[in-house]
Structure 1
């Protein structure tokens, strides 16, 4: 199968992709299945700046696209940012909507640093530890299908940092995901930004496998149509099996 389970279109404030153009492009590239996964970012500073999306409108829009698309399976998903910090509010918004998959992601550190945008300087060791601790809280406390873009803070780096000091914490994250049957996303948006690897990097994917993990997802995390499918061929083939069909 050829699939992509992390794409943003017109109901994400930071995306320029039109869903109809995405579907046409995916069919041209012989995709079997894609998931549109619009942002649901509910921290106060995000609501103040961008507002909250209309999930009902979004869901109806994707359902209409599904009904008019026969060559491609289109899933309606959602990416909930910092889910563990807004859990009750997020649940009140999504519990009555039958999303095909839910992605969880960490965008903000405890000190309010936004790690989803290019950083002016590398994170400190304390900040990196906080980032992974936030991911552990996310996978422990929230019912998600996929942990998205683990290591996103590195997306603007031009080198792969040594993270061996955080391996015990990463193992805690992975073991929790394995126990809860959460898929690990291989996110290759980092390659579009100059980082010399997809995220998480191959040694971490192998760590996940060695611990007993078997559920992987694959996402371009595209916000521009030209980034959809870009660099997908660099993902090792053993990780290109859809977790939805295992």
Structure 2
């Protein structure tokens, strides 16, 4: 069914793309300010030290304003998803795989948050005398590396997916790699001496990366293992769209 009324001049047009891009830019600029624990708006630093003679404060960020925190992230994620759907449509990707592509975009967003929070923890806590234990900073460094790898991989895969040029084999391999990396990341960052044992951006983004990477790996593995049957079925049906190239 075609677009009618005002929607015909907005949905799927350059105007929608510009508006969604502006929204992503605005939230991209606002979220770091809102979420910076130093500003004390949506998060703040708290110390975990106990009266046990240990002079390490072990500062960690924690949610201080839940309403501001969740509504800000909700609006930011919605803006990213709208832009992702627009880009996929404009690049000619098939609509059937939007959920799969969206997971890669969300993994990319989670990786960006892990990077930002790890850098922030490194620059704001690890540099302080008695700010935290050295093992915590080491775990934070692993989170930073994982976030960088996740950002690079998810950006490339989501781009190729939007173009409809991704490969089941390649995405299965990288999905498995990201699942392993984020399993270690979530464990090291959120348990025991990790830098994100309190609920906040660092904690939630690490676990989001864990769940998203396994969701992606499961979906692409199923796609890859079913490649033979799908290819046979596609050969007998003209015009059917296939989400991923089978290599």
TM-score class, shorter: under 0.3
Which structure has the bigger radius of gyration? 2
**Greater strand share, 1 or 2?**
1
TM-score normalised per structure 1: 0.25
